[in-house]
Structure 1
């Protein structure tokens, strides 16, 4: 079974540079960085779009965040049974400061509806994840409004400073033990680099 990388976000131009779309931005950058070395084949279905290689599949669910897990049903039709341990999910985290990421081998949804949907579709939380910090919401904002708000120009410049290391972590998760990758990337502030 191929590894499946799922970048979480919302489809459409209105959401491209919002906090909730860090997963989309990261997997897009991952493909961009590797295109000259890897032969990517475009794939799409009713619930996702993405790329396929001989070793892995990259998926961007296009069902909107809260229904991200629906993409797994079509992926199962195409690739057969999917084991949670073969999945890596990349998404935003409002509990982490901008410039930080946290890699985990498994865990709860932590209030993230996209991850909750994936856990529901898999009936398991036993999949690796890369959580990318987008800062805590200001007290005067509703959480939904915050994650759907666009990054400021300065924040966007800073988010791109962590996307490349997140792509490096993603590459390593495809080939290495998750504990080694956690030791290398967790706890660092990539804005200090």
Structure 2
């Protein structure tokens, strides 16, 4: 069975997508070579630019952190003393990629798009992940998550949902999210009626 999140597999997918779109893009070629070198544990500076090699190495470290910990590196936290410098630097690297997205070459953009660790909008991704967990909870239990002290996961999900519903009541939810929350409430009402 192939690990679809391995560096070699991710590089191969990104290279294939890039070559179908713009194969003569020289900057993308440099980043593709650097990514291939890192994926194959070859010196990242071989046959490419130093900038591309540093970028590919940083991406590899970012994804490796995700593989080892199950979450992406943070760039800040309430208690900065608990945030290791290496993790903070990796989180800042990701923020830099998001901030300067328009300056990235096509290969970089594609490679970040397919990365299992990288999100262009981490806040939206977290919101959608929590929303999907609420949908799953309603489908499994027939009710919305509630503040169940015995179940830390359900408790956290209920707190998140409560904040979202309060924002919706105040009219502070964007239209798309408000529609999703309305769908969740409808799903919950239907689940109660079928019991």
* TM-based fold match above 0.5: no
Q: Which has the higher contact order (CA 8 A, sep 6+)?
A: 1
Larger Rg: 2
Scaled by the length of structure 1, what TM-score is found?
0.31
Relative to its length, the structure with more strand (as a share) is 1
Q: TM-score, normalised by structure 2?
A: 0.31
Which has more helix, going by share of residues?
Answer: 2
